[in-house]
Amino acid sequence: MSKNNIAQNITIALAGNPNSGKTTIFNSITGTRQKVGNWPGVTVAKKEGTIERRGHSIKLVDLPGTYSLTPFSIEEIVARDYIITQAPDIVISIIDSSNLERSLYLATQIRELECKVLFALNMADLAETRGIKIDAEKMSELLDVPIVFTVGNKGKGIEDLLNAAIDLAISNDTEPGIRNVKYTKDIEDSIASLKTALAETTETNLPISDRWVAIKLLEDDSDVKEKIITAKGGNPDKVLEEAAKLRQFIKNRYDEDPQIVMTDERYGFIAGIVKEVMTSTTKQRIDFSRNIDLVLTNRFWGFPIFIFFIWAMFQLTFTLGEIPMGWLESLVSWVSFVFETILPDGLLKELIVDGAIAGVGSIIVFLPNILILFFCIALFEDTGYMARAAFLMDRIMHLIGLHGKSFIPMLMGFGCSVPAIMAARSLESEKDRILTILITPFMSCSARLPVYIVLAGTFFASKAGSVIFGIYLFGIILSILFGRLFRTVLLPGEDAPFVMELPPYRVPMAKSLMIHMWDRSKMFLKKMGKIILIGSIIVWGLSAFPRHIEYSTDYDAKIAQINTDFDEKIKTSDDKEFITLKNEMLNRIIEIDKLKSAEKAEKSYMGRLGKFIEPVFEPIGIDWRGSVALLTGFFAKEIVISTMGVLYAVEENDEPDALKHALKESNMTPLSAMAMMVFVLLYVPCLATVGTIMKEASVKWAIFSAVFTTLTAWGAAFVVFQGGRLFGLG
């Protein structure tokens, strides 16, 4: 890349350990000017942002959090491949100042790539509270790397970091200087021999130095060996033979695998650097995180506190969300009234008002609840409590042959099952990964939340928040029970060893919380404009056709007869009787209209489909309307409510709570509503989730998940409904 291009367009990659504050710095710099996708060929999240500084267009890439660049996990492969193949202008290594030695291992490996590197000593305030002092000037001199102190969650040092990155990017300094780790003479001689062999026999086609390639060959890096084999020209076999001979030489000399020897050498180098640049004061300081953990991770108090936090999250989601939800309901009703007024009667008017607005409007009113839920999840993540939740669940997870790390994807499942299932990739064991994927759909995702809010709000009113919490808790309990079953019958194996890292507690940035909340909520809004809109129109079409229905009785004649009967009485009535008679007449006409609408719905294509599958759902207390709604929910769980909105709210579409009024006047009872919520909690995940299971596990496991969850849902709903009736609750 030419100097002129560098001066105009700069690519900066952010690398660092998990919990080092890397993503916080990324969010602080880019704000909402970022896009989220997947890395090519893998499902690890990819975040990019673009900003303007000092006349430069800067693209920032947030690499996956990793502890090293040794290609074991998918995150490590993605991070290393991006630095190697995309050759960013600058790599900023985010270092946790309070855990300098651990963070420097990744930073040292990045230095060995001999690209332009800048160190950000992040969380400098936390290091200071722990009595840790780092001499950045001396560290910079020893490592020949520019260093900037930052406090990411407070925005401190961010501008200094950007200015240092720009200065380094546009500089002509391309020499690695004294950056290399100095290994023992035997290893350095082996590196030199391999560099010679590489120069003489092949081309690596890598935009990095021969020294780094030689080091990786000595470590028996399979990815680099593959690149050597596929190199153009030369004699790659000779290089690989030389590497194998030198690895054996080192193993014989040190009685250890070369990779272990070189890892020890790096840590020795790091220990020397730390000793030179870091000092700890003798003054005793309070470790804030440790003291909080004495309570929040206590073996007796920790779990009840965790349960309380989850209960509070759902209580807050329901109660606080009711106010803006009412505003949105009124807005949807007003929009519906406007289109009803300005559009002429006809098919187009019905499509827009009864199809699109009724369907999408019945879902979009739950946006405040979704935002609050995602805000709470972001709060758990950004404060560091998410890791504590996994730690607390570790003992319970061991009952099903998993460890606490598997609970993190399950907690993410409260938001959306798709990224939660993707997050299972971080698990090292194949059986652990598949088992986590199979039980994650039992965690109730945000798409199911509108169903719970409508049903619980309609039939359980003041206790709605607790009922919703109970539904979520039931999903967690079933995931544990079925996890034990799957581990015993389908995926037997030993528990994988695991040590849970507990990052320090941090005060979350409001900006970062908003970004995380909005990123997740965008998925909900995208569904509005795609899946749910299309689904609502299809549901309306099936319920609106055929246009000509043969009614069992002449409803129009009945209405005309009512008008005739009351006209005579009204003419001879006084003022007091007039109002009473008028109201009675209107009520009787409304009843006739409802009967007509009900028969029209039953004889529509949607009604015929519902009547066909109703026998399957009748034992669990769900009528044909609910049956159809559950059927459409396979595509997206939100469509359950939009379907019910189209099928029920046609009777009272001018009222904000039309669906709730219609449900109360239907045959649904609190018991059948509870059975329906249980079914929605457990039955087949949405189409996107099934596709993700297929991609992450296999077609076999995707089919198994779909069939097993649906059968479980029917069985659980049957027990709830029939058991409740047995005890006189129905």
Backbone torsion region of residue 721, taken as left when φ is above 0, otherwise alpha when ψ lies between -120 and 50, otherwise beta: alpha
The domain that holds 259 is classified in CATH as 1.10.287.1770
180 in any annotated domain:
no
Q: How far are the Cα atoms of 7, 289, 326 from residue 598, in angstroms, in the given order?
A: 69, 61, 27
Find the radius of gyration of the CA atoms of the chain.
32
304 in any annotated domain:
yes
Residue whose structure tokens are 């289109």: 339
Residue from 61, 71, 52, 70 nearest 94 by CA: 61
63 and 145, same domain (yes or no): yes
416 and 538, same domain (yes or no): yes
16 in any annotated domain:
yes
265 and 290, same domain (yes or no): no
189 and 315, same domain (yes or no): no
Four-CA torsion 209, 214, 217, 222, nearest 10 degrees = 0
Q: Count CA atoms closer than 13 A to 593's CA, side-chain side.
A: 9
54 in any annotated domain:
yes
178 in any annotated domain:
no
What is the Cα 401 distance to its own chain's centre? 24
Residue whose structure tokens are 């009675």: 584
Q: How far are the Cα atoms of 259, 264, 617 from residue 223, in angstroms, in the given order?
A: 15, 22, 54
301 and 380, same domain (yes or no): yes
> What is the predicted pLDDT for the residue at 161?
92
> What is the predicted pLDDT for the residue at 650?
46
721 and 672, same domain (yes or no): yes
> What is the predicted pLDDT for the residue at 500?
57
614 and 727, same domain (yes or no): yes
For residue 563, give its domain range: 548-596
Residue type, 424: A
713 in any annotated domain:
yes
> What is the predicted pLDDT for the residue at 231?
67
pLDDT tens readout for residues 570-600: 777 776 777 788 788 888 887 888 777 777 7
721 and 634, same domain (yes or no): yes
Exposed / middle / buried, residue 713 (Cβ in 10 Å: 0-12, 13-18, 19+): buried
Q: How many domains does the chain have?
A: 4
- Crossing angle of the two packed helices 236-254 and 258-277, in degrees rounded to 10: 70
Domain termination residue (choose one: 141, 170, 199): 170
Residue type, 569: K
Cα–Cα dist 281/298, whole Å: 29
432 and 554, same domain (yes or no): no
> What is the predicted pLDDT for the residue at 263?
86
Stretches in the chain below the pLDDT threshold 50: 1-6, 41, 43, 176, 282-285, 650-654, 656
Phi, psi of 62 (to 5 degrees): -90, 105
Cα–Cα dist 109/259, whole Å: 13
107 and 217, same domain (yes or no): no
Domain termination residue (choose one: 250, 280, 310): 280
The domain that holds 83 is classified in CATH as 3.40.50.300
523 and 565, same domain (yes or no): no
Q: Which residues of 41-55 are buried (b: 16+ CB within 10 A; e: fewer)?
A: ebbbbbbbbebeeee
586 and 690, same domain (yes or no): no
pTM over 0.85: no
179 in any annotated domain:
no
> What is the predicted pLDDT for the residue at 665?
76
Cα–Cα dist 639/621, whole Å: 20
SS3 call for 367 = helix
Domain termination residue (choose one: 109, 139, 170): 170
DSSP string, 451-476: HHHHHHHHHTGGGHHHHHHHHHHHHH
440 in any annotated domain:
yes
pLDDT tens readout for residues 88-143: 889 999 998 888 888 888 888 888 887 889 999 998 887 877 788 888 888 888 88
